[in-house]
A and B are shown apart, each in its own frame.
Chain A
Amino acid sequence: MLKGQQDAYNLNQMTQGGQEMKTLKRVGYPVFILVLCMAIVAGCGNSGGGNGAAPAEGSDKKDSGNNKDRVTLKVEVFDRGNSPEGVTVTNNEMTKYVQENFGDPNNIDVEFVAIPRSEEINNLNVLMAAGTAPDVIFTYNQGAAYSWAKQGGLTDLASAIDEHGPQLKEYLKDSLQYGVFDGSQFAVVARRVHLQKYSSIIRQDWLDQLNMPVPTTTEETYETLKAFKDNKLGGDRTIPFAFALAPDSYEPVIWSFIKEQSDEARYLRSVTIGSREYPILMDGHKEGVQFLNKLYNEGLLDPDFALDKDKKKKTENFVNGHSGLFTFDTGTAFGGESSTVAMLEKNVPDASVVPLLPFTDFEGKSRQPAYTPAGMYIMVPSFSERSAEAIKYLNWMAQDEVIQFMAFGEEGVHFDMVDGFPVGKDGDVGAKLLYNSGDMLIVTNGIDFGSAEKNREYMARMVQEKHREMAKQSMEFSDKDAVQQPIAFDKPLDSEAKYSVVMLEKYEELLVKSIMSSEANFDKTYDAAIKDFMDTAGNEVFAERKAAYEAMK
């Protein structure tokens, strides 16, 4: 806009002043010469730069020669903009620990490279294209990992792992297989300890007021939501079901309506977008969306849910006491003083919540999505010469004592053992060490204490004491009848990588249009949206899925 205005100014002046025009013509020739000279100079500069690169490389080698094999290993680290004062993600107590305990003994300088969390893929794409990406990169985005692998941008790590990574191999066990694309080990896949995906809570005090039990089936849940609305328990703004255009809202509902369970159905009639499986063509999908349509038309959802992609409004409605049923990413609603539940209790003093399984499928089971035991994809770009060092680094990290230190710090200094669990000391003694522990300790997502029960117990300890039992119960619920997703092929599918963004958008459109249509128009709207999805990307993706499935059988 600004630029356009400036152009307009200049032109305006030109047209108004004929005198100046003539002057311009007179000086036109010298200016042209000048431009020409500049172009030549610029060209020279360019080629000079090209030549200059070679000697620079040579001197680099000389340097490293003097330093007897001292090499630099560059490692990505997310920057979430939450560093405590005085430290950065690339220079804090943890990076020093890594340098002292891994770098120095192995004659390696470990250099951390900050990547902004929210711009992760764009940044990595640019760095990969420029050939300047760190030696160790990681992402949760499967599509990006696939696409780099396909274009030949990643190093096959199989031999390096065999040679330098015995400990790593033992630690990761099965999750390593998720990093094999087309028969090559292009990624080291971290372990994921907590597989629970979604949980739900409902307002116990509202149920008490209505004298209703905690709903245990979809039908009961619907009646309860209606009763919430009719009795305006959240005031005039009652939104019985806190709902946003986000997976934690629609996935639990839709999956509970799916009637097909076989692997074949999942291969042939659902698509993978990012790391989620969308059962778009499966028997029951339409009914799931129709149920949401009914809730919408009866005023049980937020009418502006489609604007709320970041779940802000949804959470706001719940913590301010306008909503009764709340579904969330497991592990997020319970916690410290700023957790959703704690905020609700603060804002609405009488409020209390109870965990539940609100949706049941045709068999009366509470089928719900769960994660696969795979965490982030850790990769080494093909242009990196440090694949051996990269594996050495991960191998070093996969030791119990290193994991413990990177997760909790030092016993007695940062934490105390209570009942066999590490409990952080009061105050922020560990802040500068542990604030981004999850982004530094990349070989595992969550800490494994050996059994599901112990892991739950540990997670619950992160929660305010009065909510602990509830949090445990809620996590147990999230495990019930859970199905690990997405179902994976033995190789990445080109079409899914190509259309992942488009498919997600079309799917959201399908949800929004179908849910917001009138009940009479639902069929028409839904069918048109499905057709749109199929025409844009679906047909191609499903054809490839079918071929890949046939080949795999």
Chain B
Amino acid sequence: MSRSFLFRRWQLYVMLILPMTFFIVFKYLPIYGITIAFKEFNVFKGIAGSEWVGLDVFKSIFSQQGFYTALRNTFLLNGLDLVFGFPAPIILAICLNELRMKMFKKVSQTLLYLPHFISWVIIGGMVYQVFSTNYGIVNLVLKEIGLGPFPFLSDKFHWLATYTSVGIWQGVGWGSIIYLAAITGINKELYEAADVDGASRLRKIWHITLPGIRTTIIVLLILKIGDMVDIGFDRPYIIGNVMVRDFSDVLSTYIYRIGLESGQFSIATAVGLFQAIVGLVFILGANYLSKKTTDEGIF
């Protein structure tokens, strides 16, 4: 049976070759490079030629204050994103779903997706123009109405708010696509039945829409928690600055500095490995908890 299936669907397997090659060449073979974390890596001797040093590299990382700061900040920024950034696309998707005017819905959807396609470098420039303390447009307005100026970029606590909200602005539209798709999949008859029963809009959202996309929400939540130690490089690096480095220095920027700028590849690799292991623990933990409590999980 399986043979004939293979035979009938051979095109599918051929199509699989390319992605598989990609994964083997770029994801599996480089795993060998992890050994750098356990070696005194000398670029001229290569990975194989460098000497084994056991766990020395990890010892040196765990004795560096900078590493703990970066780790704490990674959790802090990701935590803020989880608390404020995660619900945002859900709320937006529900709002969009409730819109009745087709044109308006389409236009606003497109406008909301747009920021996703702007590179962080450009967003960084915009943020600087908009939020700078003295001549940023926001502060100019606030000053006029007697409220400001606020140090959005130069005070570390204000900066956290700037960082989080810019992230939401950039990602919320794009993030809502998946929820909108899930909402489309909900059986229309449920809404009609609710209408007949005289349910209000909010009731329908609460009892039909939200339960309908619960699976999607949970899957994405688990993935998000798995990414807690993993943080993109561009956003903190570009939006951050010297004045807020207490909060803006995260693991990815730390690795960049130590590994590429200072050429200490062993330390950078070890931090990366540490990140991967903690990430694995998180995702397994989140999945376990989710299965225990809601019977939903991703594996």
Residues of A within 8 A of B (CB): 1, 4-5, 7-9, 11-12, 15-16, 26-27, 29-31, 34-35, 38-39, 42, 121-122, 125, 128-129, 131, 144, 147-148, 151-153, 237, 245, 302-304, 306-307, 309, 382-383, 498-502, 505, 508-509, 512-513, 516, 535-536
B25, B44, B132: which contacts A152 (Cβ < 8 A)? B44
B6: CB under 8 A from chain A? yes
Q: Which residues on A sit within 8 Å (CB–CB) of B154?
A: 303-304, 306-307, 516
Q: Which residues on B sit within 8 Å (CB–CB) of A151?
A: 42-44
Q: Which residues on B sit within 8 Å (CB–CB) of A501?
A: 257-258, 261-262
State whether B215 touches A535 (Cβ < 8 A): no
Docked pose: A15 CA to B24 CA in angstroms? 26
Q: Which residues on A sit within 8 Å (CB–CB) of B223?
A: 4, 7-8, 11
Q: Which residues on A sit within 8 Å (CB–CB) of B257?
A: 501-502, 505
Q: Which residues on A sit within 8 Å (CB–CB) of B232?
A: 1
B162: CB under 8 A from chain A? no
State whether B153 touches A27 (Cβ < 8 A): no
Q: How far is the CB of B210 from chain A (nearest CB, A)?
A: 16
Q: Which residues on A sit within 8 Å (CB–CB) of B21?
A: 38, 42
CB pairs A–B below 8 angstroms (15 shown)? A8-B223, A9-B178, A11-B223, A12-B216, A15-B298, A26-B2, A30-B2, A30-B5, A34-B13, A237-B135, A304-B134, A501-B262, A535-B65, A536-B64, A536-B66
A16, A152, A303, A500: which contacts B42 (Cβ < 8 A)? A152
Docked pose: A210 CA to B107 CA in angstroms? 58
Q: Which residues on B sit within 8 Å (CB–CB) of A512?
A: 242-243
Q: Which residues on B sit within 8 Å (CB–CB) of A508?
A: 242
State whether A303 touches B261 (Cβ < 8 A): no
State whether B178 touches A5 (Cβ < 8 A): yes
Task: Give B136's nearest chain A residue, CB to CB.
Answer: A304
* With contact pairs A1-B171, A9-B178, A307-B128 given, residues A125 and B43 touching in the complex (Cβ less than 8 Å): yes
Docked pose: A8 CA to B6 CA in angstroms? 27
B263: CB under 8 A from chain A? yes
State whether B44 touches A382 (Cβ < 8 A): yes
Docked pose: A152 CA to B49 CA in angstroms? 13
Task: Give B215's nearest chain A residue, CB to CB.
Answer: A15
Docked pose: A17 CA to B133 CA in angstroms? 52
Docked pose: A237 CA to B135 CA in angstroms? 9
B204: CB under 8 A from chain A? no
Docked pose: A307 CA to B17 CA in angstroms? 48
Docked pose: A12 CA to B223 CA in angstroms? 11
B161-178 contacts to A, CB under 8 A, are: 171, 174-175, 178
Docked pose: A237 CA to B6 CA in angstroms? 74
Q: How far is the CB of A26 from chain B (nearest CB, A)?
A: 6
Q: Which residues on B sit within 8 Å (CB–CB) of A34?
A: 13, 16, 20
Docked pose: A4 CA to B245 CA in angstroms? 27
State whether A306 touches B242 (Cβ < 8 A): yes
Q: How far is the CB of A402 from chain B (nearest CB, A)?
A: 33
Q: Which residues on B sit within 8 Å (CB–CB) of A1?
A: 171, 174, 232
* With contact pairs A5-B174, A12-B219, A42-B24 given, residues A147 and B44 touching in the complex (Cβ less than 8 Å): no
* With contact pairs A147-B263, A245-B242 given, residues A303 and B215 touching in the complex (Cβ less than 8 Å): no
Q: Which residues on A sit within 8 Å (CB–CB) of B178?
A: 5, 8-9, 12
B16-68 contacts to A, CB under 8 A, are: 16-17, 20-21, 24-25, 29, 42-45, 64-66
B264: CB under 8 A from chain A? yes
State whether B2 touches A8 (Cβ < 8 A): no
Docked pose: A122 CA to B154 CA in angstroms? 30
B260: CB under 8 A from chain A? yes
B91: CB under 8 A from chain A? no
Docked pose: A4 CA to B279 CA in angstroms? 14
Task: Give B153's nearest chain A residue, CB to CB.
Answer: A307
Docked pose: A151 CA to B216 CA in angstroms? 52
State whether B264 touches A498 (Cβ < 8 A): yes
Q: How far is the CB of A67 from chain B (nearest CB, A)?
A: 30
Q: How far is the CB of A162 from chain B (nearest CB, A)?
A: 25
Docked pose: A38 CA to B260 CA in angstroms? 33
Closest CB pairs A-B (n = 4)? A129-B43, A153-B44, A501-B262, A501-B261
State whether A4 touches B134 (Cβ < 8 A): no
Q: Which residues on B sit within 8 Å (CB–CB) of A306?
A: 154, 241-243
Q: B242-268: contact bitstring with A at CB < 8 Å (1 yes, 0 no)?
A: 110100000000000110111110000
Q: Which residues on B sit within 8 Å (CB–CB) of A31?
A: 13, 16
Question: Which of B21, B65, B219, B263 has the most chain A CB within a 10 Å cutoff?
Answer: B263
Task: Give A309's nearest chain B residue, CB to CB.
Answer: B242
Q: Which residues on B sit within 8 Å (CB–CB) of A509?
A: 242, 245
A12, A35, A125: which contacts B260 (Cβ < 8 A)? A125
State whether A536 touches B65 (Cβ < 8 A): yes
A29, A125, A502, A505: which contacts B263 (Cβ < 8 A)? A125
Task: Give B222's nearest chain A residue, CB to CB.
Answer: A11
Question: Which of A1, A302, A309 has the most chain B CB within a 10 Å cutoff?
Answer: A1
Question: Which of A128, A512, A535 has the most chain B CB within a 10 Å cutoff?
Answer: A512
B182: CB under 8 A from chain A? yes
B43, B44, B227, B261: which contacts A4 (Cβ < 8 A)? B227
Docked pose: A505 CA to B243 CA in angstroms? 11
Q: Which residues on A sit within 8 Å (CB–CB) of B126?
A: none
Docked pose: A131 CA to B45 CA in angstroms? 10
Q: Which residues on A sit within 8 Å (CB–CB) of B45?
A: 152
Docked pose: A26 CA to B6 CA in angstroms? 10
B135, B153, B182: which contacts A12 (Cβ < 8 A)? B182
State whether A303 touches B134 (Cβ < 8 A): yes
Q: Which residues on B sit within 8 Å (CB–CB) of A245?
A: 242
Q: How far is the CB of A133 from chain B (nearest CB, A)?
A: 10
State whether A15 touches B219 (Cβ < 8 A): yes
Q: Which residues on A sit within 8 Å (CB–CB) of B296?
A: 15
Docked pose: A34 CA to B2 CA in angstroms? 14
B182, B242, B260: which contacts A122 (Cβ < 8 A)? B260
B171, B241, B245: which contacts A307 (Cβ < 8 A)? B241
Q: Which residues on B sit within 8 Å (CB–CB) of A152?
A: 42, 44-45
Task: Give A147's nearest chain B residue, CB to CB.
Answer: B263
Docked pose: A369 CA to B12 CA in angstroms? 68
B220: CB under 8 A from chain A? yes
State whether A16 touches B215 (Cβ < 8 A): yes
Q: A26-B5, A27-B6 are in contact. List 8 more A-B contacts (CB 8 A).
A: A5-B174, A12-B182, A12-B215, A16-B185, A27-B2, A125-B43, A131-B44, A307-B132
